[in-house]
């Protein structure tokens, strides 16, 4: 615990964690159901929405970020905990990292099992999220996801299981920390981008390559006015010639094109012809970023008014250690 006087703001947005025995749980109920609460730090509740996270949009991301920035601006606020559906939790985490770039802890949590059921994981996850938010050094890690006793950095976390309580993973990087009652261990500080954007540019598409497919989707996106395209390529970032041609033509038309991989873990290493075509590896601090995270990241970098060269420089610079 960091010993400072103040409070934690808990913002409820919906999701499985909000499914209570008698209907939808709001922020006040999230706080009441937490498996444990700090003795000396009040938790203030605030309701943002009661939606399944599959319905979250960039408008919601912008509005939620405004609320979070508003809370963080209050000197008494020690950190923000957001309860959220797990389906698009990783996208909201990246949006908040890019739109808030917080120096205080911002923690997104949720549940895989409804709070009305025995075996619900929400009460423990909320308690862990609050405990993490009050721990020393948590502010340096930026926005994180706390689920199943693990702390994951916004750029690294992925939902990899549809029903398991252990659904979230940071891939090869591993979680940045662990939470047990009375004990938070931060094992490393994740690399952050050091950019705070005012908005998200909605015109970014994510396209997954398939054997024989993908080029036409890139052409469609470019013709449809996409200012950014993220390609989930094969393996280490392999792209067939036909796809490189489409991507290069999209880039020449003004779109910024990032490349990540459709494979769940492992690094990306773009080949010379992709680099020559002006395609940018989707990495932060040398670590691959998933397609979902790269899309939101690119929306924010374009929203900040950055062009292709600046985006490439920012990503290859390796960001900053929180």
- Interacting residues with ligand ASP (CB under 6 A): 15-16, 52-54, 85-87, 110, 112
Measured from the CB atom, the residue of 147 and 257 that comes closer to ligand ASP is 147
Using alpha carbons, select from 194, 8, 29 the residue that is nearest to residue 106: 8
CA–CA distance, 285 with 270 (Å, rounded to integer): 16
Q: How is residue 234 annotated by DSSP? A: B
Report which residue's Cβ sits closest to ligand ASP.
85
Provide the minimum distance between the beta carbon of 54 and ligand ASP in the complex, in angstroms, as a whole number. Answer: 6
Provide the minimum distance between the beta carbon of 27 and ligand ASP in the complex, in angstroms, as a whole number. Answer: 16
Measured from the CB atom, the residue of 16 and 283 that comes closer to ligand ASP is 16
What's the chain's length in residues?
322
Measured from the CB atom, the residue of 46 and 87 that comes closer to ligand ASP is 87
Measured from the CB atom, the residue of 56 and 282 that comes closer to ligand ASP is 56
CA–CA distance, 292 with 33 (Å, rounded to integer): 31
Identify whether the C-beta of residue 31 lies closer than 8 Å to the C-beta of residue 82: no
Provide the minimum distance between the beta carbon of 140 and ligand ASP in the complex, in angstroms, as a whole number. Answer: 28
Measured from the CB atom, the residue of 159 and 192 that comes closer to ligand ASP is 159
Q: Which residues contact 117 (CB under 8 A, 6 or more apart)?
A: none
Provide the minimum distance between the beta carbon of 84 and ligand ASP in the complex, in angstroms, as a whole number. Answer: 7
Q: Which residues contact 88 (CB under 8 A, 6 or more apart)?
A: 53, 54, 56
CA–CA distance, 223 with 219 (Å, rounded to integer): 6
Using alpha carbons, select from 201, 177, 209 the residue that is nearest to residue 190: 177
User: Catalytic residue among 13, 16, 191, 260, which?
Assistant: 16
* Helices (H), ranges, the chain: 27-33, 58-73, 89-100, 122-133, 215-223, 241-252, 272-276, 291-303, 308-317
Measured from the CB atom, the residue of 87 and 245 that comes closer to ligand ASP is 87
Query: Catalytic site residue 162?
Result: no
Buried b (16+ CB within 10 A) or exposed e, 72-83: beeeebbbbbbb
Provide the minimum distance between the beta carbon of 91 and ligand ASP in the complex, in angstroms, as a whole number. Answer: 11
First to last CA, the chain: 19
Provide the minimum distance between the beta carbon of 125 and ligand ASP in the complex, in angstroms, as a whole number. Answer: 11
Q: Which residues contact 70 (CB under 8 A, 6 or more apart)?
A: none
Q: Which residues contact 225 (CB under 8 A, 6 or more apart)?
A: 203
Measured from the CB atom, the residue of 16 and 58 that comes closer to ligand ASP is 16
CA–CA distance, 40 with 285 (Å, rounded to integer): 37
CA–CA distance, 109 with 146 (Å, rounded to integer): 5
Provide the minimum distance between the beta carbon of 151 and ligand ASP in the complex, in angstroms, as a whole number. Answer: 18
Q: Would you please indicate which residues are annotated as catalytic (active-site) residues?
A: 16
């Amino acid at each position: 615990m960091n010993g400072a006087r103040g409070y934690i703001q808990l913002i409820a947005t919906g999701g499985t964690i909000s499914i209570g025995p008698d209907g939808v749980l709001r922020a006040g109920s999230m706080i009441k159901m937490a498996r444990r609460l700090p003795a000396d730090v009040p938790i203030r509740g605030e309701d943002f929405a009661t939606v399944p996270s599959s319905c979250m949009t960039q408008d919601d991301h912008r509005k939620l970020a405004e609320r979070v920035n508003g809370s963080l601006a209050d000197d008494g606020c020690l950190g923000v905990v957001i309860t959220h559906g797990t389906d698009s939790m990783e996208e909201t985490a990246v949006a908040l990292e890019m739109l808030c770039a917080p120096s205080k802890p911002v923690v997104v949590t949720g549940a895989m099992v409804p709070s009305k059921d025995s075996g619900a994981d929400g009460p423990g996850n909320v308690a862990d999220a609050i405990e993490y938010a009050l721990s020393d050094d948590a502010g340096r890690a930026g926005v994180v996801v706390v689920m199943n006793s693990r702390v994951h950095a916004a750029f690294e976390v992925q939902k990899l299981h549809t029903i398991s309580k252990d659904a979230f993973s940071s891939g090869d990087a591993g979680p940045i920390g662990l939470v047990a009652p009375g004990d938070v261990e931060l094992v490393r500080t994740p690399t952050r981008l050091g950019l705070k954007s005012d908005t998200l540019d909605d015109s970014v598409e994510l396209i997954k390559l398939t054997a024989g497919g993908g080029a036409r989707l890139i052409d469609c996106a470019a013709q449809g006015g996409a200012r950014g395209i993220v390609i989930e390529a094969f393996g280490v970032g392999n792209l067939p010639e036909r796809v490189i041609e489409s991507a290069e033509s999209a880039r020449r038309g003004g779109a910024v094109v990032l490349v990540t991989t459709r494979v769940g873990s492992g690094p990306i290493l773009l080949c010379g012809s992709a680099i020559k075509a002006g395609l940018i590896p989707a990495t932060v601090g040398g670590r691959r970023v998933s397609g979902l995270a790269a899309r939101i990241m690119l929306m924010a970098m374009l929203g900040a008014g950055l062009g292709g060269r600046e985006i490439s420089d920012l990503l290859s610079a390796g960001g900053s250690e929180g």
